[in-house]
A and B are shown apart, each in its own frame.
Chain A
Amino acid sequence: MNIVACVKQVPDTEALIKVKPDGSGIEEGGIKWVMNPYDEFGVEEALKLKEKLGGEVTVVSVGPARTMETIRTALAMGAEKGIHIDDPALYNADAYTTANALAAAIKEIPYDIIFCGQRAIDGDMGQVGSILAELLDIPQCTIVTKLDVGDGKATAVKPIEGAQLVLETSLPCVITAQKGLNEPRYASLPGIMKAKKKPVDVKNAAALGISVEPKAKIEKMTPPPARPPGKIIEGEDPAAKAAEVIRLLREEAKVI
């Protein structure tokens, strides 16, 4: 089985994010970069599938040179090879341009199933997996928490409000991974030591023959407004305090 896992390198969840003074992006200096946690679920599911059905896992990522660390992490976890799409025109690209680059690279290799995280924790767009499926003209199951693959089809469980959908699709397809799908493994020491010897193709936009014209542009980033301090209502009489809470909710917060 030819399995593809798309990964994105994102700031660590514990990183302190600062917006650049000109609002063009975030300050990248001093940030620790990690594999997007939802993509980790995708990589883990890809590896489990390979262990069950045989085949190999190719990991694909778009990003600057540092992205190679994330590709190597996936290789250390057990993927066989990598494709690194590295082109300055694609750094911080919008969801469509990113998906288009991934699609162009994936079209060049055989694939039966493609995993993506359901969203990346940095941009939080949640679109790349779906656009990728559209561009490849294959079915998609998004936000998946359980997956079975066999007999040329995939059965996926997707939670929705108060219930869950059970989806069945033919292969090839795109699956976007949600928390709960699995517990990602740690990269083992022998895996880490072997990761560097595994092949990674580095390609730019020209090599893939794709347009890098974005469909969406980020005009400006601003930090969220500082949270106003809470208000403690002083007093001895609970009834009076409750009345004051109601007055404030009505007149200041205007929520009732």
Chain B
Amino acid sequence: MDFSFTEEQQMIRDMSRKFADDVVMPRAEELEKTGEYPYDILAQMADLGMMGIPFPENYGGSGGDWTGMHLCIEELSRGDATLGALLDVTTSVVAQELYEFGTEEQKQKWLIPMAQGKEIGAFGLTEPGAGSDAGATKTTAQLNGDEWVINGTKQFITNIGLDTASIVIITARTKSTEERKRDQINTYIVPKGTQGFTLGKRYDKMSWQHSATHECIFEDCRIPRGYFLGKEGRGFAQHLAVLQTGRISIAAMSVGLAQACFEASLKYAKERVQFGQPIYNFQGVSFKIADMAMNIELARNMYLKACWLKDNNMPHVLEAAYAKLFASEMCEKVASDAYQIHGGYGFMNEYAVSRYYKGCKILQIVEGTSEVQRMVISRNLG
């Protein structure tokens, strides 16, 4: 057994941490306040090759692995969780789906600019009537000559509002026919700007203000036949396969956010004096921080194990679900304790913990709620 990182993973981690400290952290508060996307930070991430870490160079990637990519997600999320979400949705989910299931033409057209960070991808699974029950999708796609005609609505679509967002990958239902008795759910690539594809109003959210989230509306939206992604009838399974990586990404984000909470709490508790001494001297405070440090390390080990399994092409359904569930719930507890340690200051927007607290809850929802993770786990226990 070997717990050490490769030299490359260590360097990715060090570089990402430095980048988060120097470039991301000083901007995080302003970004949350204005809701404006930091395109300049995105451009720097693209130049550094962060958007395509796990993909080979001939597809615009950096030739790294999923472990390195998730170390990068953790470190960026320590600075600003929405940048972790950017890597989650674009790289772990959309780009991976193109890489795993796309045709060569699709990879050339969309994967390469995405891995290079020039374009951003969005993922459309959720609908007004299809959340955790993602199979209940009502959006339809019907073949008409050489075109697919799409109708329906996808909601809560992260990053689709960004200027550089190129496509949304969606699931849609194809109605049964006489030869095929059952409906099929398939996957389609819809470029932004396609006629019949409009964005609804930008959502006003509790946190992550700058990850421009919109509704996607498809009204007789026609795309070429070649924008079908993957195998017929396998669309839902393809989505679930890449969401497994998305779960690891949310775990890494949770660990990064929790680490930020821990660091802020440790610093504050050692500086804040009450009853004539730093409050870190009181076990009511220091034990909370001890628990934080321990739980963060446990969650980190779990997501890294899931990454290791993925990098070694081994099954990791359970491990990805364990990592996501444990890390996201841990993060909420850590953020809550960080707030508690900061007392009244935790309520003030000028203290980062207030932002951390607002940003942690969603981690238990995205890429499968905690309840869905428990479903996945219990169904895979034999």
Q: Which residue of B lies closest to A73 (CB)?
A: B11
List B contacts of A189 (CB < 8 A).
12, 48-50, 52-53, 62, 64, 68
Q: Mark B1-36, 1 if CB is under 8 A from A, else 0.
A: 000000110111011001100000000000000000
Please report which residues of chain A, range 168-215, place their CB below 8 angstroms from some CB of chain B when the two chains form the complex.
186-193, 195-196
Cβ A195 vs Cβ B62 within 8 A: no
Query: For the complex, is A72 an interface residue (Cβ under 8 Å from B)?
Result: yes
A-B contact pairs, 28 of them (CB 8 A): A34-B14, A69-B7, A69-B11, A73-B11, A73-B14, A188-B48, A188-B49, A188-B62, A189-B12, A189-B49, A189-B52, A189-B53, A189-B62, A189-B64, A189-B68, A190-B57, A190-B62, A190-B63, A192-B11, A192-B12, A192-B15, A192-B64, A193-B63, A193-B64, A195-B7, A195-B8, A195-B11, A196-B8
A250 to B68, CA, bound (A): 60
Q: Which residue of B lies closest to A184 (CB)?
A: B18
Given contacts A72-B11, A189-B53, 11 further A-B pairs with CB under 8 A are A69-B10, A73-B11, A186-B19, A187-B11, A188-B48, A189-B50, A192-B62, A193-B8, A195-B8, A196-B7, A196-B8
Q: Mark A27-45, 1 if CB is under 8 A from B, else 0.
A: 0000000100000000000
Cβ B8 vs Cβ A192 within 8 A: yes
Query: For the complex, is A76 an interface residue (Cβ under 8 Å from B)?
Result: yes
List B contacts of A190 (CB < 8 A).
49, 57, 62-63
Interface residues of A (CB under 8 A from B): 34, 68-69, 72-73, 76, 186-193, 195-196
A195 to B6, CA, bound (A): 12
Query: For the complex, is B47 an interface residue (Cβ under 8 Å from A)?
Result: yes
Residue picked from A68, A190, A193, most chain B C-beta under 10 Å: A193
Q: Mark B149-162, 1 if CB is under 8 A from A, else 0.
A: 00000000000000
List A contacts of B8 (CB < 8 A).
192-193, 195-196
Check A72/B7 contact, CB under 8 A, given A186-B15, A190-B62: yes
List A contacts of B14 (CB < 8 A).
34, 73
List A contacts of B52 (CB < 8 A).
189
In the assembled complex, how far is the CB of residue A185 from the closest CB belonging to chain B, in whole angstroms? Answer: 9
In the assembled complex, how far is the CB of residue A76 from the closest CB belonging to chain B, in whole angstroms? Answer: 6
A18 to B311, CA, bound (A): 38
List of 6 A-B pairs having minimum Cβ-Cβ separation, nearest first: A189-B49, A189-B62, A192-B11, A193-B63, A188-B48, A190-B49
Partner of A186, one of B7, B10, B48, B62: B48
A190 to B63, CA, bound (A): 7
List B contacts of A193 (CB < 8 A).
8, 62-64
A187 to B12, CA, bound (A): 8
Q: Which residue of A lies closest to B63 (CB)?
A: A193
In the assembled complex, how far is the CB of residue B149 from the closest CB belonging to chain A, in whole angstroms? Answer: 40
List A contacts of B15 (CB < 8 A).
76, 186-187, 192
Residue picked from A72, A187, A188, A189, most chain B C-beta under 10 Å: A189
In the assembled complex, how far is the CB of residue B271 from the closest CB belonging to chain A, in whole angstroms? Answer: 15
A69 to B53, CA, bound (A): 20
A213 to B163, CA, bound (A): 63
List A contacts of B19 (CB < 8 A).
186
A208 to B52, CA, bound (A): 42
List B contacts of A186 (CB < 8 A).
15, 18-19, 48
A193 to B63, CA, bound (A): 7
A57 to B177, CA, bound (A): 66
A191 to B11, CA, bound (A): 10
List B contacts of A69 (CB < 8 A).
7, 10-11
A192 to B12, CA, bound (A): 7
Cβ B47 vs Cβ A188 within 8 A: yes
Q: Mark B261-275, 1 if CB is under 8 A from A, else 0.
A: 000000000000000
